[in-house]
Amino acid sequence: MIKIAVLVSGSGSNLQALMDANLSGQIVGVISNKPAAYALQRAQNANIATAVIEHKHYPTREFFDAAMHQQLLDWDVDLVILAGFMRILTPGFVAQWHGKMINIHPSLLPVYKGMHTHQRVLRTGDAYHGCTVHYVTAELDAGQALAQGVLRVHQHDDEDSLAKRVHVLEHLIYPQVAEWICNGTLVHTQQGVLYRGQPLTEPVQFTKI
């Protein structure tokens, strides 16, 4: 059984979606860089181990990431899932978890990397928006996309309504991709990513009008 750790900084709605999905893997621990993150309470309510590793207690990003890496090793983790984890990871840490760490980003990558995606979509006047589950690489929001949730931007959408609709999609596709990894439907190999035994050349798409 694949052992999963989830990295969080905030309320943990995606963590809750992962816990509610009854994955065939096991969430063995949750790490937060913020002791007040409600995600920790969600994990404790589900009897999942938690660890608070506050970045401000470490002199550099490298020392902070080393502490997280050691905790992940202590839990014997196979898969790291970023769920609202608001820290940029060092290239060294990312390299140690290459092919074993995924993130979800609120845009249809490769467009709108970084912050304020809903605002940027509205400003540009895009017809479609959504979210992308991708492998984490040293370059921000640039790892291979595994799945995307796609929705149509409505005429009267604002940043708040778009954010809420995208969150619904996140809670759908993130647990699905995690389960694919857990049950072997999606596999990271040295030759590339396989989905149902075939090379994954484009992200799997889920649509919601």
Domain map (residue ranges) of the chain: 1-97, 104-209
Contact call for residues 8 and 84 (beta carbons, < 8 A):
yes
Q: Which residues have a Cβ under 8 Å from the Cβ of 200 and sit 6 or more positions away?
A: 144, 146, 186, 192, 193, 194
* Distance between CA atoms of residues 26 and 193, nearest Å: 22
Neighbours of 151 (CB within 10 A): 20
Catalytic residues, which ones? 105
Q: Which residues of the chain have pLDDT under 50?
A: none
Residue among 166, 74, 73, 182 at smallest CA distance from 128: 166
What pLDDT is recorded for position 192?
95
What pLDDT is recorded for position 208?
81
Q: What is the pTM of this model?
A: 0.97
Is CATH 3.75.10.10 the classification given to domain 104-209?
no
* Distance between CA atoms of residues 82 and 107, nearest Å: 16
Burial class (CB in 10 A: 0-12, 13-18, 19+), 103: buried
What pLDDT is recorded for position 140?
92
Task: Give the architecture-level CATH label for domain 1-97.
Answer: 3-Layer(aba) Sandwich (3.40)
Evaluate whether 1-97 and 104-209 have a shared fold: yes
Q: ∠ at Cα 200 (199, 204), nearest 5°?
A: 150
CA distances 152 to 128, 161, 166, 202, Å, are: 4, 12, 10, 20
